[in-house]
Chains A and B, each alone.
Chain A
Amino acid sequence: MPAFISFLTITEFTIFGLPEDISNLIFMVLGAAIFCGVSAVMALLGVYLERKISAKMQDRLGPMEVGSHGILQTLADAVKLLLKEDIVPAAADKTLHFIAPVMIFAATLAAFAVLQFSEGIVFSDLNVGIFYIIAISSFVVIAIILAGWSSNNKWSLLGGMRAAAQIVSFEIPASLAVMVVVMSVGSLNLGDIIDAQEGSMFSWMIFRFFPFNFIAFIVFFVASLAELNRAPFDMPEAESEIVAGFATEYSGFKWSCFFLAEYANMFLVSVVITTLFLGGWRSPFGDFLNSQPFQLFWLLSKAFVIIFIQMWLRWTLPRVRVDQLMYTSWKVLTPFAFVAMIGVGLLMIL
């Protein structure tokens, strides 16, 4: 059964001469704690960026008071959220109302385990890495539906059901777009996918089998926007229609779990897009500036460019209608994803 350990850790050495089992256990717990911290910091940073970018786009200043240019504002908000009273509606289903935010955060965090942050810095070099990310994200859907149902509120329920329909629909083009990359590389392992993109920026997956992988990139980007419930596909929490959707009846720490999960998911998706299509942690200039600290820098800068585009779209585009959303998924993205897949297949055998 030690197969388990080979899936979960790549660390070979032990700490302080402890037995290997205990040492590995400590590594796993430490790694999980680090990812908790990383995702929380990324969420705080994401919220701050969102406020500042939206302010710039709307010709405002955004948060300016707390810290220089409001840089401590999200930290103050986080402290405020943690200290707030936790209100559970009297008619809510208490158990599920509690499980939903825990599950959404746990699922988001679990997906972080396979990400490659730079050469050799990966918590779990899972052989089915990208497949695992797609699979574990399905817990997010369940958590959102449960949140919507357990709140016992019509807006919550509508938000939950919209989210379920939306995420399930967009999972199909997203998975097909991932398939295109997996076909081009011949592996589900994220490390193999990054290795296949060795060289300068023109060997990135986005330029491979042109234009089919580029189509897959666009399809995956749009589908991931919808899976994140981000504008223009933010029907599950459309403020003007259903208050705050599935999160309407949540407050305090539980609400911040949803919020944290949303921004952590944005970061996750950006890293996945970077890994699949933009060379992961590889430098755009081949071996130039490709040492380990720079790899982390490249990964984060590519991911933050993607995050910036996500925010840019949110503050530029109006929300689509539900029927337009389904049209986008089934009649636009899915056929294009199939075209990309068949095209890559043809080019591979030619």
Chain B
Amino acid sequence: MNIPFYDILFYVFAALIVSSAAVMVFSRNVIYSAVGLLFAFFGVAAIYVLLGADFVAVAQILIYVGGILVLLIFGVMLSQKVTSVDIKNGAVQIVPAILVVGGVLFILIRVLLSTPWGAASGRNIQDVDLTAAVEPTTQQIGRLLMTEYLIPFEIVSVLLLGALIGAAFIARKDA
């Protein structure tokens, strides 16, 4: 007997992502949305683990949960009416939002249907040896960042530096 262990785990985490994303979108309370987002991020990290991308999974948790989400909740708390449960998450601009989201959905579905999934990695999906342990990715990512993708990497870091300086400038008292 061979339990489809990874399939079960995949569906558990997929269900977690979808349900917590739904909580995030439909909740009227910003803090609940943030908690929904937390579990969605966690589920995505779990999917990365199932795909063998260990470094990306951990980076996902560190950056999105440890960085972005903490700052998000912190920002919510610094805004008005923190001690009451009044922080609402209402829907605004419904018609343009539906247009934009519909467009994005259309493009995503097109990409989903037109991508040759098995051949994307240059291999046929049946030929991939699923029982082989996946190689650690950290070293390869580091090497690629310092060689092939050095220019994009540096451009992104300049962008982040710009954002940092901009934030410091806005936060200045005598600006």
Contact = CB atoms under 8 A, between A and B. Distances in A.
Interface of A: 1-7, 19, 21-22, 25, 93, 96, 99, 126-128, 131-132, 134-139, 141-142, 145-146, 149-150, 152-154, 157, 160-161, 164-165, 168, 171, 188
A128 B45 CA distance: 14
Contacts of A126: 54
B133 A3 contact: yes
B138 interface: yes
Interface of B, helix, strand, loop or mixed by DSSP: helix
Contacts of A5: 5
A205 B62 CA distance: 25
Contacts of B6: 1-2, 4
Contacts of B82: 149, 157
A149 B62 contact: no
21 contacts: A19-B1, A96-B31, A96-B32, A127-B54, A128-B55, A131-B58, A134-B62, A135-B58, A135-B62, A135-B66, A138-B66, A138-B70, A141-B66, A142-B65, A142-B73, A145-B70, A145-B77, A153-B83, A154-B83, A157-B82, A164-B73
Interface in B50-68: 50-52, 54-55, 58-59, 61-62, 65-67
Which secondary structure characterizes the binding site on chain A? Answer: helix
Contact of A128 (B58, B67, B69): B58
Nearest to A141: B70
Contacts of A4: 6, 9, 49-50
Interface in B133-156: 133-134, 136, 138
Interface of B: 1-3, 5-7, 9-10, 31-32, 35, 38, 49-52, 54-55, 58-59, 61-62, 65-67, 69-71, 73-74, 77-78, 82-83, 85, 130-134, 136, 138
B54 A157 contact: no
Contacts, number: 113
